[in-house]
């Protein structure tokens, strides 16, 4: 799990195809790699990857063909900049929101406008995901936890403060940039509870003592 608070930026040093997958070598001087272990999870542009090898100035990770197909990774090249975040510890502060590192879809920047010292972005995403959007709700864009300012039919708007623009790759976005999107986990679970036919039906409405007893809470 992650929080959507980017710890460092990285750069792709090399890409190498291996048996249909891709081995990605990433360098970054913003993290203490001696504190990491092979097998740990790390978020790369919002995608949970497993560290396969470590170096003094970075790490290597394997990217599956499925990940290449459903994320922005297929468009990356040697030298591309990345957002990095190590997985959280239970003792860490939850500065953003809970992020799984499992990308739901790819979005596209449709507008970029200056707003005082901030930047306002309008992002388009596939229509079937707009039901997970809520004004003032959370969303993860390339691994960054952001608050949704406005929601329309198939777009949403976010405000990027100068600190976020400087410390992440969002500062380099332009109209047409494609980004990884992960919707709020809470919205996904609420949908599952409301529409899952496997949830036992109870008589009446609301939560009763019988309901709690049936499910082991009383």
**C-alpha dihedral over 27, 29, 34, 35, to 10 degrees?**
-110
Q: How far is CA 30 from CA 51, 57, 86, 119, in A?
A: 16, 9, 12, 24
Q: Does domain 105-195 have CATH number 2.40.30.20?
A: yes
Range among 92-96, 173-177, 201-205 rated most confident: 173-177
CA 182 to chain centre: 5
C-alpha 5/C-alpha 85 separation (Å) is 7
User: Hunting for tokens 């975040």 — which residue is that?
Assistant: 85
Give the pLDDT band (50/70/90) at residue 189.
confident
Q: Which pLDDT belongs to residue 199?
A: 54
Contacts of 117 (CB under 8 A, 6+ apart): 161, 162
CA-based end-to-end distance of the chain: 31
**Choice between 130 and 195, residue whose per-residue pLDDT is larger:** 130
Q: How far is CA 40 from CA 1, 14, 59, 129, 137, in A?
A: 11, 20, 11, 30, 29
Give the pLDDT band (50/70/90) at residue 192.
confident
Each domain of the chain, given as residue ranges in start order, spans 8-86, 105-195
Q: Phi, psi at residue 144, to the nearest 5°?
A: -100, 125
Q: Does domain 8-86 have CATH number 2.40.30.20?
A: yes
Same fold, 8-86 and 105-195: yes
Q: Could you tell me the sign of the dihedral formed by the alpha carbons of 103, 104, 108, 114, in that order?
A: negative
Give the pLDDT band (50/70/90) at residue 204.
low
């Amino acid at each position: 799990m992650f929080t959507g608070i980017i710890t460092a930026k990285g750069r792709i040093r090399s890409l190498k195809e291996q048996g249909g997958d891709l081995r990605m070598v990433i360098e970054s001087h913003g993290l203490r790699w001696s504190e990491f272990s092979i097998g740990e999870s790390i978020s790369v542009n919002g995608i949970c990857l497993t560290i396969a090898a470590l170096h003094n100035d970075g790490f290597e990770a394997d990217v599956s063909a499925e990940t290449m197909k459903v994320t922005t990774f297929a468009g990356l090249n040697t030298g591309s900049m990345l957002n990095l975040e190590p997985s959280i510890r239970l003792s860490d502060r939850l500065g953003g929101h809970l992020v799984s590192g499992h990308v739901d879809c790819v979005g596209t920047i449709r507008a970029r406008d200056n707003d005082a010292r901030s930047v306002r972005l309008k992002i388009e995403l596939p229509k079937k995901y707009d039901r997970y959007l809520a004004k003032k709700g959370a969303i993860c864009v390339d691994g960054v936890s952001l608050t949704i300012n406005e929601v329309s039919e198939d777009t949403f708007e976010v405000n990027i403060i100068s600190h976020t623009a400087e410390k992440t790759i969002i500062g380099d976005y332009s109209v047409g940039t494609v980004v990884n999107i992960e919707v709020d986990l809470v919205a996904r679970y609420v949908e599952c509870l409301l529409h899952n036919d496997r949830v036992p039906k109870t008589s009446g409405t609301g939560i009763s003592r019988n309901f709690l007893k049936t499910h082991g809470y009383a």
